[in-house]
Structure 1
Amino acid sequence: MRFVLASASPARLAVLRAAGIDASVMVSGVDEDAVAATLTDPGPAELVTALASAKAAAVAETVAGGESDSVVVGCDSMLSIGGEMVGKPGTAEVARKRWAAMAGGSGDLLTGHAVTRVEGGRRVREATGTQSTRVRFVAPDPDELEAYLGTGEPLQVAGAFTLDGLGGWFVEGIDGDPSSVIGISLPLTRRLLAEVGVRVVDLWRP
C-alpha cells in the first residue's frame, strides 16, 4: 500500500522517514482561505481539521486515478496564542509581532490530521482528528530574534517557530506530543490509520 503525504512540508516528511515510512509527496494546492471561509465561526480544532481534510481529499482525488491502493494523509498546523489562531507569518514584520506575544509565554500548537484510504480507484474511508500540544517559549534577546528572523525559517512555519530547527533554541519545553509540534503526530496518525483499516507496521519500509 502506498503512503501519500498531502503536504510540501520537509519537516513532516522527515518525521515519517525517521519513523520508517517512505512516503510519496503530493501537494494539494488547496486554497486554505477559501476553505476557512466556508466554516461558520469554527473553533481551533474544527479549523485545522477541516483544512487537513480538504488537503487529503484533494490529493485522494488525484491518487484515485491510479492502480495502487493508497492512504493519503493531510495535515494543517496553527498556533493558538492569546486566544488567536495564527499560521505562517509570511513576513519578518508579522513574525516579529508574533514573537513579541510569544516570548516568555506559552501557546497551544494544534495540528489537524485527515487520513483517507483509496482502494480500487475510489475513496472508501476517512478518519480525522486533532492533536494539541502546549509549547513554552523563552524570551530571545533582540539580537537573537533579529538573527532568527534573518534566517527566514520562522516565516514559513506555523506559529513562526520550529522545534526541530533553529527555533528549538527558543523553546523551553513542551507538554504533549513532540512529533505533532514538528507537523505530524505519529501516535494520532497511527490511530487514524487503524480507523481506516491499515496497520502502521505494515507500512514500514523493509
Structure 2
Amino acid sequence: MTAHGKVQEVYERLSKDDATKPDVVIGADTMVTMDGQMYGKPKTPEHAFEVLQMLMGRTHVVYTGVVIKYGEKEVKFTESCKVKFGKATPAQIQAYVDTGEPLDKAGGYGIQGLGGNFVESIEGDYFTVVGLPMYRLSVALCNLFDYHIE
C-alpha cells in the first residue's frame, strides 16, 4: 500500500465515528532503487538475502513518499537519499536475515537497526532512509498550519 493509500484507509476508518475523527493523518512509504529496479519489503527470507547480496559494495537510492491529510487538504512530497553499502560475506548477510529484521524493511534492511552495520556512507537525510524525513515533515506541517519557516 502506498503512503496515500495508508492515509486514506486510516482516515476513513477513524472517521466513521465523530469522536475518533482525526485532525491530521500522516502516512509514509519507502522504496529502495538500484539499476532501474524498485525494492520494497522482501516477501521471504530468501528474497531478503538476494536483495541484500545485490546491494553489497554498491550505492542505491532510497525514496520516502509522505502524505499529510488535514481535513480536505493534502500535502505530498518525496525525499531521496543515496546509501552506499560496504561489503559483507554471505554468512554475515544470512546471520542478519536470520534476525528477521529485513522482512519488514524496504530493501531488506533497517539503517536504524542491525542493518546499519552494512552502511558505509549516506548522502542525504538519514531519516529518509529510516522512513520518515523529519525535517521536511516539520516544514510541511508548519506551512500547513500557517506557521511558515523562513
Deviation of 1:141 after TM superposition, in Å, equals 1.2
Is residue 130 from structure 1 mapped to residue 78 from structure 2 by the alignment? yes
Preserved contact between residue 81 and residue 101 of structure 1 (Cα < 8 Å): no
Q: TM-score, normalised by structure 1?
A: 0.66
Q: Find 2:6's aligned residue among 28, 40, 55.
A: 55
Aligned to 1:86: 39
User: Partners in 2 of 1:133 and 1:143 — Cα distance?
Assistant: 28
Residue 112 of structure 2 aligns to which amino acid in structure 1?
D
- Superposed CA deviations along residues 121-141 of structure 1, whole A, max 9, x for unmatched, are xx3211000010001101111
Deviation of 1:59 after TM superposition, in Å, equals 1.1
User: Partners in 2 of 1:60 and 1:196 — Cα distance?
Assistant: 18
Q: TM-score, normalised by structure 2?
A: 0.89
Identity percentage over the alignment? Answer: 33
Deviation of 1:192 after TM superposition, in Å, equals 2.2
Preserved contact between residue 53 and residue 90 of structure 2 (Cα < 8 Å): no
User: Partners in 2 of 1:160 and 1:112 — Cα distance?
Assistant: 18
Aligned length: 146
Residue 36 of structure 2 aligns to which amino acid in structure 1?
G
User: Partners in 1 of 2:22 and 2:33 — Cα distance?
Assistant: 36
Residue 70 of structure 1 aligns to which amino acid in structure 2?
D
Preserved contact between residue 112 and residue 129 of structure 1 (Cα < 8 Å): yes
User: Partners in 2 of 1:190 and 1:85 — Cα distance?
Assistant: 27
Aligned to 2:112: 164
Moved more, 67-76 or 136-145: 67-76
User: What SS does the corresponding residue of 1:162 show, helix, strand or coil?
Assistant: coil
Preserved contact between residue 136 and residue 171 of structure 1 (Cα < 8 Å): yes
Preserved contact between residue 126 and residue 196 of structure 1 (Cα < 8 Å): no
Root mean square deviation, CA, Å: 1.8
Preserved contact between residue 91 and residue 155 of structure 1 (Cα < 8 Å): yes
Aligned to 2:69: 116
User: What SS does the corresponding residue of 2:74 show, helix, strand or coil?
Assistant: strand
Deviation of 1:155 after TM superposition, in Å, equals 1.7
Aligned to 2:49: 96
Which structure 2 segments of 5+ residues have no match?
A: none
User: Partners in 2 of 1:130 and 1:115 — Cα distance?
Assistant: 12
User: Partners in 2 of 1:88 and 1:127 — Cα distance?
Assistant: 25
Assess, with a 3 A threshold, how the Cα gap between structure 1 residues 72 and 79 changes in structure 2: closer, same or farther.
same
Aligned to 2:18: 66
User: What SS does the corresponding residue of 1:130 show, helix, strand or coil?
Assistant: strand
Deviation of 1:84 after TM superposition, in Å, equals 0.4
Assess, with a 3 A threshold, how the Cα gap between structure 1 residues 112 and 143 changes in structure 2: closer, same or farther.
same
User: Partners in 1 of 2:146 and 2:47 — Cα distance?
Assistant: 41
Aligned to 1:182: 130
Residue 18 of structure 2 aligns to which amino acid in structure 1?
G
Correspondence 1:9-48 to 2 at 5 A? 32=1
Deviation of 1:69 after TM superposition, in Å, equals 5.4
